[in-house]
Amino acid sequence: MGIVLAIIIFSFIVFFHELGHFLLAKKNGIDVNEFAIGMGPVLYSREYKGTKYAVRLFPIGGFCAMGEDEEATDSPDNFNNKSVWARISVIVAGPVFNFILAFIFAVILTAMIGYDRPVISDVEKGYPAAEAGMQAGDTIVRIGGRKIYLFREISVYNQFHQGEDVEITYRREGDEKTVTLSPAEDPKLGYYKLGITSSGYEKADILTSFQYGVFQVRYWINTTLESLKMLVTGQVGLDQISGPVGIVDVVDDAYKETKSYGVFIVLTQLMEIAILLSANLGVMNLLPLPALDGGRLVFLFIEAVRRKRVPPEKEGYVHLVGIVCLMVLMVVVMYNDIRRIFF
C-alpha cells in the first residue's frame, strides 16, 4: 500500500508541474501537441482543439509536449515563434506550480494539525541555552542571522551546523536579546545540542493557516537549498541522496508506522512528505542545469539580452549532455537507494 501511495503522490506532483506548463502555454496561444497523464504506451487519447489529451500506461507523472525542442515552423503559434518573455513564462510556470501545490498542502496541513511557533517550553540544565540565561516562554526570532517562524527551523539549523557556534536572537516580554551559543554534545546521542525544547503545536485559524502555510513552504525551500549547498561543499556525499526508490521507501515506512493510529495521522504524514517533494521539485527544476527548466531559462534569458536566439542545434547539444549526466546521476542514486534499503 505504501508503494501505491508513493506513486500516487509523486505522479500528482509531476502532473501538477506539467499542468503549469500547459496552462501558460494555452494562455500564450502556444500549440500544445500533447498533454499526457502517465508515461509509456497510450491507453486512451482524445484530440481537442489541436491538442492530444492522453492517459498512458505507467502512472508516473506526465508531460506537456509543446515542440520546444524543434525548429520553429511556419505556424505563428509554434513555441519557438512566440516572444521570449512568453516562453519564459511557460517554462517557469512548472516550478511555480510546484510551489503553489506545496502551499495548498501546507495550508491544509496547518489547518489540520496547527503550527510550531519557535517558543521554548523547557531549557535543559548544563546546556548552552540555560547558561546564556534563556528561559521557557522565550520566542526565538533569529538563528544564524536568519529570521525564523517555525521551531523546526532551529532543529534543522543545528543539524546542518553541528558543533558550530550560533548567534540567536530571542524575544522576552517585548524585548529582544542576542546571545552566541556553543552547542554541547550529548554523550548518549553523540549529537550537539542547544538544550531547548519546543512548546508544541498551536491550533490555527483560517488566516493563520495561510500565513504559516507560506512559512512552511519557505522552510522546505530553504532546507533544500541548504542541502544542495552541503552537497556542493562536500559536507554531504552522493551516497546520502535519495531518488525515486528512496522516496517510495520513505512513504512506505511512513504509512507502516502510522497506519495503526488511523487515517488522520496517515494523511498528515503523507501530506508533509508531499509538501517536501513538491517544494523540492520546484527548487531542483529552477537550477541552471541543462535539460532542466532552469537550464532552458538560462538560454531564454541569454536570448532576451542578445535579442537573438541561441542556435537550436547548439542548445540541443547542451541539453543532450545534461540529460546524459542526469541519467548517470539517477543510476548512481538508485544504486545507493537499493544498497541502503536492501543491504
- State the number of CA atoms in the 13 A half-sphere of 141 facing the CB: 10
Instruction: In whole angstroms, give the CA distance from residue 172 to residue 129.
Output: 14
The answer to whether 2 and 246 are in contact (CB under 8 A) is no
Output the CA–CA distances (angstroms, integers) from residue 82 to 52, 78, 87, in the order listed.
Answer: 21, 7, 7
CA dist list (Å): 103 to 60, 154, 160, 193, 278:
22, 21, 24, 31, 9
Distance CA 212, CA 298 (A): 32
Neighbours of 162 (CB within 10 A): 12
- 153 is an active site residue: no
76 Cβ neighbours under 8 A, 6+ residues apart: none
Nearest in space to 241 (alpha carbons), one of 251, 227, 262: 227
State the sign of the Cα–Cα–Cα–Cα dihedral 137, 141, 145, 151: positive
**Which residue type occupies 262?**
G
Q: Which helix (H) or strand (E) holds 11?
A: helix 2-27
d(CA 316, CA 324): 12
Start-end of H helices in 114-240: 128-131, 151-160, 206-232
Residues tagged active-site: 18
